[in-house]
Chain A
């Protein structure tokens, strides 16, 4: 494995030289979940596009804890690199119908089936198979079926990037309008000084939200964001000449999307992503 040398190395590999194995993948995500329109977004509240229909096909509520991969339904499905090479994401372009921030992330671990009325420690468990050192990994609560209207708070017990178990996230709000709806993501705030997550042991509600619903925990590693500041404006993320730098895509990465909406418009987007190998 070796770093990309320079622009010439990129051009050569992008056009098929040096086993660059260029790959361009087109993604279409429709604003529908389980045969109906997706839940109406709330401005500023992040939503998961994991279950959004489209191409590639949608993901499902995971059930038991699992470490999703490129082969999990809902993942982008990029080819794994061959010949001992690494895979690099060079750029993304996207046309989206609603303003906001679209995030591409590696979905490292997920679970669903947690209850909006259980105030005991609800087990998450499982083991990461990528970015196991934890730096940059985030803990998200992800709602699959609406939970209750009673506002409360939630914390997670986790192992931080230094391997310290029993760390606890700062309490964040959950339940009630804006924090209970299906497809809602509620990012959890790590303890001061932590840079990431190696494992999540459990989550605990301070009080019942009033409705069992179905929520889960996702461990996510953000890779890049695309900022769309007008309806249908579209966006380019050029990582050769712009920010962030060229991203390494881990073997078996489960690439998926989340969205921070500016409005209440259900997002739809078409995206192209471009990769090479070295």
Chain B
């Protein structure tokens, strides 16, 4: 049921239905590049192998989300980042993107040129089952090689059309080989989401087998750091640009992270939810 008015919203955020602190420490990262928090300590997630659907109970989920009785929405976030080694740098340390990790697998090879189907197709979606708004990414668990190449994926779109292949992305080489780098895969024009991924194709070998996999995810919100500060406070209605995403039952929350610096970084904060 929709919230009637601002007073209702204000009343609910005064006593949020759930509030969960979180702490993560990144590994060394690549400046300006997208990374996955899945393997960040503490309570790191395991490298997936066979296709599986992660949930709020899966090791690596950012918080042990309690399933709601009605519609659950992320209303407020506050978080802090800073390097693990003082002195703290001036300015922010990057940008956090909160996502629901919907489906994952691993075991793909950085040397196998051609279509790879190991541990694919991805496990069927149990959340956002229409596929609309679901994106696919490639996640490096163990570094691949230093030879740059490109990669594409074959997927089934939101309408159930299989064999869709979007544009390629760079893969392998400096900034494109390191764990835990994350690459969002482009979709075909007109597609609005992914239901499953059937294969991944490297144009050439990167030189090292490594280990990477496909992750299906839904973006919930982007949480930029405020320049000049290390702590950010966001309210969905006032300050976060009306980003009031609904969070589905069993959601496996994690974040993607665009790092500003290469050093390991502490990321901590609290997520506050309301129910309609």
Contact = CB atoms under 8 A, between A and B. Distances in A.
A256 B225 CA distance: 24
A166 to B, nearest CB: 38
A74 B189 CA distance: 8
B270 interface: no
Interface in A42-76: 53-58, 73-74
A26 B225 CA distance: 19
A270 B184 contact: yes
A233 B81 CA distance: 12
Contacts of A8: 4-7
Contact of B258 (A7, A30, A95, A271): A95
Interface in A1-48: 6-18, 20, 24-26, 28, 30, 32, 35, 37
A91 interface: yes
B186 A93 contact: no
Nearest to B168: A35
Interface residues of B, number: 59
Interface in A235-253: 235-241
The main secondary structure of chain B at its interface with chain A is loop
A232 B94 CA distance: 5
A30 B227 contact: no
B221 A93 contact: yes
A32 B169 contact: yes
Tell me the dominant secondary structure on chain A's binding face: mixed
Interface string B64-100: 0000000101000000000000000001111101000
Interface of A: 6-18, 20, 24-26, 28, 30, 32, 35, 37, 53-58, 73-74, 77, 90-98, 229-241, 265, 268, 270-272, 274, 276
Given A55-B186, A57-B167, A233-B94, 10 more contacts: A17-B2, A24-B133, A32-B170, A96-B95, A232-B32, A233-B225, A235-B224, A236-B222, A240-B237, A272-B221
Interface of B: 2-9, 31-34, 71, 73, 91-95, 97, 133, 135, 150, 166-170, 184-192, 219, 221-225, 227, 234, 237-245, 256, 258-260, 276
